[in-house]
Amino acid sequence: MVARDTWKKFERKVAKKLGGVRTPLSGSHSRHTSGDVIHDRFYVECKYRSRFAVVTLFDEVKERAKKEGKIPILALKQKNRRGELVVLDLDDFVDLLEVNRCG
C-alpha cells in the first residue's frame, strides 16, 4: 500500500510540469474532471506503482537513445486493436511542448 501523500505528491508534480493543477478530492467527485489533473488541453490520469512492465521496455530504449543523443520514444501496438500508444519521459514531453509553442 502506498502512503496517501506519496501519490498525491506525484500527481502535484505531474500537474505542475504540465501547467495544470492537481484535481482536488477524488477524480469525478471534484466536479472539474474525472482525471487526476485539471488542464485545459490534456486529460491526465496518474498511476503510481512499485513496478510496470512497460518501464523495463522503456529503459532499454532510453539507454540506446542516450548513446545516439536522441529523445527516447517507445511506440506500442496491441495486436487486433486500433491505435498506438507512445511512451516518453515526462520532461522530454514538456520540452517537446515548449518547442512547439515557440516554433
Q: What share of the chain is helix, strand, coil (3-state, %, to 5)?
A: 45, 10, 45
Residue 1: is its pLDDT beyond 70?
A: no
Question: 5-52, pLDDT tens digit by residue?
Answer: 899 999 999 999 999 999 987 655 556 788 999 999 999 999 999 999
Confidence of residue 99 (pLDDT cuts 50, 70, 90): confident
| Distance, first Cα to last Cα, the chain | 44
Beta-carbon contacts of 37 under 8 Å, excluding residues fewer than 6 positions away, are 11, 14, 15, 18, 20, 21, 22, 23, 44, 46
Nearest to 8 by CA among 50, 40, 37: 37
- Running DSSP on this structure, what letter comes out for residue 22? E
Question: 66-77, pLDDT tens digit by residue?
Answer: 999 999 999 999
